[in-house]
Amino acid sequence: MNSNILQGKWKQLKGNIKETFGKLTDDDLTQAEGSADKLLGVLQERYGYTKAQAQAEWDKFVQKHSSEVEDAKANLDASAKEITAAAAAAKKSMWG
């Protein structure tokens, strides 16, 4: 996830970040302000991670939440198709 995308989604991600990385404070997240590099530095400081460990944990977080978004999108698409099919069936039964 590049920095531009992270900055755009920052408010949405803050809750998930705090849930995953419980040692981070609101001040830590405010300092990072959507910068992946700054956030990695905060993870290193709070958790005692090496740079590589911080990157690995962040990548795992991003992958998990990217998967959740993709799953939600797939479910929404499937629901939309079901609704469209049900509406077409109802229309057909009403109008013959």
Q: What is the pLDDT of residues 56-77, one digit of tens each?
A: 998 998 888 777 656 656 666 6
pLDDT for 62 equals 83
- Residues spanned by the domain of 12: 3-95
CATH number for the domain spanning 53: value is: 1.10.1470.10
Number of domains, the chain: 1
CA distance 57 to 23: 14
Residue ranges of the chain with pLDDT lower than 50? Answer: none
Neighbours of 12 (CB within 10 A): 11
pLDDT of residue 5: 61
C-alpha distances (whole Å) from 40 to each of 13, 77, 86, 87 are 15, 34, 48, 49
